[in-house]
C-alpha cells in the first residue's frame, strides 16, 4: 500500500488543483490552469494504478489463498485528518478510508479523469473558458474521491452532494444556451429526489445504531450485536430491530436499505429517476465520459456494495434492487435502439449497464457488480471519447443520420470505437480467456443471476432473462451506431434520414460538403490507453476480482454464510445440463450483431422505412417510453399548480392579505377617512368636539346610571 502522504495526494490534490485553476486563472491563464489540473490528476492516476496493481498481484496472480493472506490480514487503513462534528453521540471525522473498494474506485476515478483532462486539451481547444472547465473537472474528481474514501455517512454525503454540484456546473457549462441550462437543472432537481431518500436513510442509521461511522454500523450487522436505538425502536439485535415508519412497523435494515437505495437510484439513473442522464449530453463530451464512466453514476453502485451487510439481511430491499436494475437494463436498451444522437445512444447504454450492476448486487453478487463497474469504466470512457472524436472530426455534428462512410477519414477513431463496441457487447468465447473486458464482467453478472435463481433469490430469474434480452439489444444498437456512423454511403444534407423528425439545418460541417478529419494526437492518445483497458482489464482482473473475490475484496464486501451465488457458478460450469447458460450470452450477442448487420449494413433502407412507418413500438422507444411527457403532465404541472396555489392563494391572499397587507390596508383606509376631517374650518372642529363630548357623556352616564 502507498504511504499516507501519497494517499493524501491522490485524494486531496485534485481539489487543490481545482482551487488554483478556478481562483488564480487571472494570474496563470488558461494554459496554466490546464497544466496544473491535468498534471495533478494524471499523477494521481498513475499512483492509483500502481497501488491497484500492487494490491492485486503482490502475492501472485490467481493464487487465491496467497492473495487472501497478503491482502486481507488487516482491516481498512484509516487516515484521520481532523475532527469534524462532535455533538454528543453524533460524531464524524474527516478521514480517508483505504480498503479494496476504495483502492479500485480511486484507480478508476483518477485514471479515467486524467485521460479526460488530457483529451480536453484538444476537444476544448477553441473554448474561451478553458480554465473554468478544467477547474470543474478537477472539482468533480475531488468530490468523487471524497465520496469513495469516506469512513462515515456524513463525509460520504459531502462527496455525494459535491459530485451533484460539479455535474450541475459541467452539464450547464455552456450556460448561455437554453438546452444546457435546462439539462443541468433537470439533473440537479432529479438527484434531489434521490438525495432526500439518502438523507432519511442516514438519519435512520443514526437513530438505530447511534453512530454514522461505517465501521461500527457494519460490524454490528455482521455480528448481529445487541443494539439500544436512540428513540422510537425497542432494543434488540442488529438484524431484528423494528422501527415505526408511516404507520407501519418495519425491520430497520429493510427501511435503511430501501432509503439508501433511493439515493442510489437518483445518482445512478435507475428506472423512474433516470430521466436526467440522457439530457446530461448537453454538456461537453469529455463531461459525458467522466460522468458516465468514472464518477457520478457509479456512486450508487458503490454505495450498495459498500452497504452489502445491510442488503444481506434485507431481502425485500435487495429484491427491489434486483427488480429495478433488471427493468432499467431492458428499458434503456430498448430506448437506445431508436436514438439518432450518437451521444444519447451511448448514454442509454450507460443506463442499461448500470442496471446490470444493480441487479448483480441485488442477487448478492457484489463482486460481479464491482468487477463490471471496473471494466465498464474503460470501454464506456472509450466510447464517449470516441464519439467526441467523431463529433470533433465532423465539425460538431452529432446526428448519426448525417454521418456514414467516415471510417476512411478517421481510421484511428474508427478502430477505437470498434474496440469499445466489442467490449461493451461482451464478445468472448465461454470457458476460455479469449474475450474483451465486457465479456468477463457481463457474463459474470448473467451467470450470477442464474445461480441465484436456482436458490430462490427474489427476482433473480427475471433478472437473468431480462439481462440476456438486454445483451441482445446492446449488441444491436452498438453495431447500429458503428454502421450508421462509419459505414455505408456518405450522408448529404438533403438525404432522407431515418426517423420522422426533421433534422435542423445547421452549419455542421460535412453535411454541407466539408469532409471529416481525424482528431489531433492529444485526443487520440487517451483513446489508445482506454482501448488497452477495454481489451485487457477483464482477462487480467477476472480471477482476483471475481473468481477469487473473497480473497481480493476481504472485509470490504460481505456475503452471509447462506450466500453461495458466486461459489455455485463453478459447480454449474462442470454440469453439462447447465452449459447453455454460459453459451447463451454469446448466442444472443451474435443474433444482435446479425440483425444490425442485415438492417444497417446490407439493407440500410430497412431502418429508414421502420422509422418512417413508425408504429406504437417504435414510437414508444423513440420517445423514451414517454417518461418526459408523463412527468411534465403530472409532476411538473402538478408542482407548478401547487406552487401557484401556495403562492397566490396561501401566501398572497391569506397570509399577506389577512396579515401585514390587510392591516396596512385597514390603516390606510382609516387614515384617509380621518384625514378628510381636517378641513381647516373652525366650526368643523367645534362640531367634532361637541359630538365627541356628547358621545363620551352618554357612555359615562350609561355606565354610572347602570352601576347605581
- Report the C-alpha gap between 483 and 597 in whole angstroms: 8
- Whether 511 shows a pLDDT value over 50: the answer reads no
Set of cell numbers at residue 297: 453514476
Confidence of residue 64 (pLDDT cuts 50, 70, 90): very low
- Whether 626 shows a pLDDT value over 70: the answer reads yes
Per the document, the length of the chain is: 708
Comparing 237-241, 265-269, 567-571, the range with the smallest average pLDDT is 567-571
- Report the C-alpha gap between 120 and 536 in whole angstroms: 25
- Whether 501 shows a pLDDT value over 70: the answer reads no
- Whether 135 shows a pLDDT value over 90: the answer reads yes
The CA-atom distances, in angstroms, between 598 and each of 476, 480, 602 are 10, 10, 5
Mean pLDDT of 505-523: 65
Helix (H) / strand (E) element for 466: namely helix 460-486
Beta carbons within 8 Å of 297's beta carbon, 6+ residues apart:
267, 268, 269, 277, 291, 350, 354
pLDDT of the residue at 168: 93
Calculate the dihedral angle through the C-alpha atoms of 277, 520, 114, 557, rounding to the nearest 10 degrees: 60
- Report the C-alpha gap between 222 and 217 in whole angstroms: 9
Contact present, 169 and 245 (Cβ < 8 Å): no
pLDDT tens per residue, range 68-124: 454 455 578 999 999 999 888 788 999 999 999 999 999 999 999 999 999 999 999
More confident residue, 334 or 671: 334
pLDDT tens per residue, range 516-545: 899 999 999 999 999 999 999 999 999 999
- Report the C-alpha gap between 117 and 114 in whole angstroms: 5
Q: Which residue has the cell 414508444?
A: 620
Beta bridge pairs of residue 243:
250
pLDDT of the residue at 532: 97
- Report the C-alpha gap between 524 and 218 in whole angstroms: 44
Q: Which of 295, 369, 360, 370 is nearest to 321 (CA)?
A: 360
CB neighbourhood size of 703 (10 A): 10
Percent of the chain scoring above 70 in pLDDT: 94
Comparing 15-29, 328-342, 689-703, the range with the smallest average pLDDT is 689-703
Comparing 54-63, 354-363, 627-636, the range with the smallest average pLDDT is 54-63
For the four alpha carbons of 99, 266, 453 and 311, in that order, the dihedral sign comes to positive
Confidence of residue 645 (pLDDT cuts 50, 70, 90): confident
Comparing 17-26, 321-330, 391-400, the range with the smallest average pLDDT is 391-400
Helix (H) / strand (E) element for 85: namely strand 77-87
Beta carbons within 8 Å of 382's beta carbon, 6+ residues apart:
416, 417, 419, 420, 423, 527, 530, 531, 533, 534
Contact present, 323 and 272 (Cβ < 8 Å): no
More confident residue, 122 or 705: 122
More confident residue, 634 or 481: 481
Confidence of residue 613 (pLDDT cuts 50, 70, 90): confident
pLDDT of the residue at 268: 92
More confident residue, 613 or 589: 589
- Whether 161 shows a pLDDT value over 60: the answer reads yes
Confidence of residue 391 (pLDDT cuts 50, 70, 90): very high
Mean pLDDT of 278-302: 88
CB neighbourhood size of 493 (10 A): 12
Beta carbons within 8 Å of 303's beta carbon, 6+ residues apart:
156, 260, 263, 264, 267
Q: Which of 362, 366, 324, 356 is nearest to 438 (CA)?
A: 356
For the four alpha carbons of 419, 422, 426 and 428, in that order, the dihedral sign comes to negative
The CA-atom distances, in angstroms, between 133 and each of 124, 215, 319, 457 are 9, 37, 40, 46
Classified as helix, coil or strand, 312 is helix
pLDDT of the residue at 73: 52
pLDDT of the residue at 491: 66
Mean pLDDT of 562-588: 92
- Report the C-alpha gap between 582 and 580 in whole angstroms: 5
Mean pLDDT of 192-211: 95
- Report the C-alpha gap between 326 and 686 in whole angstroms: 90
Output the pTM of the full model.
Answer: 0.89
The CA-atom distances, in angstroms, between 663 and each of 337, 657, 658, 666, 675 are 63, 8, 7, 5, 18
Phi, psi angles (nearest 5°) of residue 150: -65, 145
Give the ranges where 543-659 is alpha helix by DSSP (H).
549-553, 565-573, 579-597, 604-613, 616-622, 627-631, 637-644, 657-658
Beta carbons within 8 Å of 676's beta carbon, 6+ residues apart:
none
Beta bridge pairs of residue 343:
none
More confident residue, 594 or 510: 594
Contact present, 463 and 325 (Cβ < 8 Å): yes
Q: What does pLDDT average to over the chain?
A: 89
For the four alpha carbons of 678, 682, 687 and 688, in that order, the dihedral sign comes to positive
Give the ranges where 308-429 is alpha helix by DSSP (H).
308-312, 315-336, 342-362, 366-393, 411-424
Inter-axis angle of helices 411-424 and 460-486, nearest 10? 170
Calculate the dihedral angle through the C-alpha atoms of 438, 443, 445, 451, rounding to the nearest 10 degrees: -170
pLDDT of the residue at 176: 86
Confidence of residue 707 (pLDDT cuts 50, 70, 90): low
pLDDT of the residue at 309: 96
The CA-atom distances, in angstroms, between 495 and each of 287, 401, 500, 503 are 31, 9, 13, 10
Q: What angle do CA 252, 257, 263 make, to 5 degrees?
A: 135
Q: Which residue has the cell 442499461?
A: 352
Q: Which residue has the cell 373652525?
A: 682
Mean pLDDT of 361-367: 96
- Whether 575 shows a pLDDT value over 50: the answer reads yes
- Whether 495 shows a pLDDT value over 50: the answer reads no
pLDDT of the residue at 68: 47
Q: Which residue has the cell 479469449?
A: 434
pLDDT tens per residue, range 206-220: 999 999 999 999 999
Percent of the chain scoring above 90 in pLDDT: 65
The CA-atom distances, in angstroms, between 484 and each of 179, 392, 416, 480, 704 are 25, 17, 16, 6, 103
Amino acid at each position: 500500500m502507498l504511504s499516507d502522504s501519497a494517499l493524501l495526494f491522490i485524494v486531496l490534490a485534485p481539489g487543490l488543483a481545482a482551487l488554483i485553476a478556478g481562483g488564480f486563472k487571472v494570474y496563470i491563464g488558461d494554459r496554466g490552469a490546464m497544466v496544473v489540473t491535468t498534471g495533478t490528476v494524471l499523477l494521481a492516476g498513475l499512483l492509483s494504478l500502481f497501488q491497484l496493481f500492487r494490491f492485486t498481484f503482490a502475492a501472485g496472480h490467481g493464487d487465491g489463498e496467497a492473495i487472501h493472506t497478503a491482502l486481507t490480514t488487516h482491516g481498512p487503513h484509516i487516515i484521520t485528518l481532523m475532527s469534524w462534528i462532535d455533538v454528543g453521540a453524533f460524531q464524524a471525522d474527516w478521514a480517508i478510508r483505504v480498503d479494496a473498494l476504495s483502492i479500485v474506485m480511486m484507480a478508476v476515478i483518477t485514471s479515467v479523469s486524467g485521460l479526460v483532462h488530457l483529451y480536453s486539451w484538444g476537444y476544448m481547444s477553441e473554448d474561451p473558458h478553458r480554465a473554468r472547465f478544467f477547474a470543474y473537472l478537477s472539482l468533480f474528481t475531488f468530490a468523487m474521491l471524497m465520496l469513495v474514501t469516506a469512513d462515515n455517512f456524513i463525509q460520504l454525503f459531502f462527496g455525494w452532494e459535491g459530485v451533484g454540484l460539479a455535474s450541475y456546473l459541467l452539464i450547464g457549462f455552456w450556460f448561455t444556451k437554453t438546452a444546457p441550462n435546462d439539462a443541468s437543472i433537470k439533473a440537479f432537481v432529479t438527484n434531489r429526489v434521490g438525495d432526500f431518500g439518502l438523507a432519511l436513510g442516514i438519519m435512520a442509521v443514526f437513530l438505530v445504531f447511534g453512530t454514522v461511522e461505517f465501521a461500527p454500523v457494519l460490524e454490528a450487522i455482521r455480528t448481529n450485536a445487541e443494539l439500544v436505538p436512540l428513540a422510537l425502536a425497542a432494543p434488540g439485535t442488529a438484524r431484528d430491530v423494528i422501527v415505526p415508519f408511516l404507520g407501519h412497523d418495519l425491520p430497520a435494515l429493510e427501511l435503511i436499505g430501501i432509503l439508501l437505495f433511493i439515493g442510489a437510484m437518483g445518482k445512478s439513473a435507475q428506472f423512474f429517476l433516470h430521466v436526467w442522464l440522457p439530457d446530461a449530453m448537453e454538456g461537453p463530451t469529455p463531461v459525458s465520459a467522466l460522468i458516465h464512466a468514472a464518477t457520478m453514476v457509479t456512486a450508487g453502485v458503490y454505495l450498495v456494495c459498500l452497504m452489502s451487510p445491510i442488503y444481506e439481511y434485507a431481502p425485500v430491499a435487495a429484491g427491489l434492487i434486483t427488480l429495478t436494475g433488471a427493468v432499467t437494463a431492458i428499458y434503456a436498451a430498448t430506448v437506445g435502439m431508436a436514438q439518432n444522437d450518437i451521444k444519447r445512444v451511448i448514454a442509454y447504454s450507460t443506463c442499461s449497464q448500470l442496471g446490470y450492476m444493480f441487479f448483480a448486487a441485488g442477487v448478492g453478487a457484489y463482486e460481479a457488480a464491482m468487477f463490471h463497474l471496473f471494466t465498464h469504466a474503460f470501454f464506456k470512457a472509450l466510447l464517449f471519447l470516441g464519439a467526441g472524436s467523431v463529433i470533433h472530426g465532423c465539425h460538431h455534428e452529432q446526428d448519426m443520420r448525417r454521418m456514414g462512410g467516415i471510417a476512411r477519414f478517421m481510421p484511428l477513431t474508427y478502430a477505437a470505437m470498434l474496440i469499445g463496441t466489442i467490449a461493451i457487447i461482451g464478445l468472448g468465447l465461454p470457458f476460455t480467456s479469449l474475450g474483451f473486458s465486457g465479456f468477463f464482467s457481463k457474463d459474470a453478472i448473467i451467470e450470477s443471476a442464474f445461480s441465484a435463481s436456482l436458490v430462490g433469490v427474489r427476482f433473480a430469474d427475471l433478472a437473468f432473462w431480462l439481462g440476456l434480452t438486454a445483451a441482445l439489444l446492446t449488441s444491436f444498437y452498438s453495431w447500429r451506431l458503428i454502421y450508421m456512423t462509419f459505414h455505408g454511403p456518405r450522408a448529404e444534407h438533403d438525404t432522407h434520414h431515418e426517423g420522422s423528425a426533421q433534422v435542423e439545418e445547421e452549419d455542421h460541417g460535412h453535411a454541407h460538403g466539408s469532409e471529416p478529419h481525424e482528431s489531433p494526437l492529444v485526443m487520440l492518445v487517451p483513446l489508445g490507453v482506454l482501448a488497452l483497458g477495454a481489451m485487457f482489464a477483464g482477462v487480467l482482473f477476472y480471477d482476483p476480482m471475481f473468481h477469487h473475490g473473497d480473497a481480493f475484496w476481504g472485509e470490504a464486501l460481505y456475503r452471509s454464510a447462506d450466500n453461495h451465488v458466486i461459489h455455485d457458478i463453478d459447480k454449474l460450469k462442470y454440469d453439462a445440463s447447465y452449459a447453455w447458460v454460459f453459451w447463451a450470452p454469446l448466442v444472443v450477442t451474435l443474433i444482435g450483431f446479425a440483425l444490425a448487420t442485415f438492417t444497417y449494413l446490407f439493407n440500410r433502407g430497412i431502418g429508414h422505412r421502420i422509422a418512417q412507418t413508425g408504429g406504437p413500438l417504435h414510437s414508444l422507444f423513440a420517445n423514451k417510453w414517454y417518461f418526459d411527457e408523463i412527468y411534465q403532465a403530472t409532476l411538473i404541472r402538478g408542482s407548478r399548480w401547487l406552487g401557484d396555489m401556495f403562492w397566490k392563494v396561501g401566501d398572497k391572499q391569506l397570509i399577506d392579505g389577512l396579515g401585514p397587507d390587510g392591516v396596512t390596508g385597514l390603516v390606510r383606509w382609516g387614515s384617509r377617512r380621518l384625514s378628510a376631517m381636517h378641513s381647516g374650518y373652525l366650526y368643523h372642529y367645534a362640531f367634532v368636539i361637541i359630538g365627541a363630548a356628547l358621545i363620551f357623556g352618554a357612555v359615562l352616564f350609561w355606565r354610572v346610571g347602570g352601576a347605581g
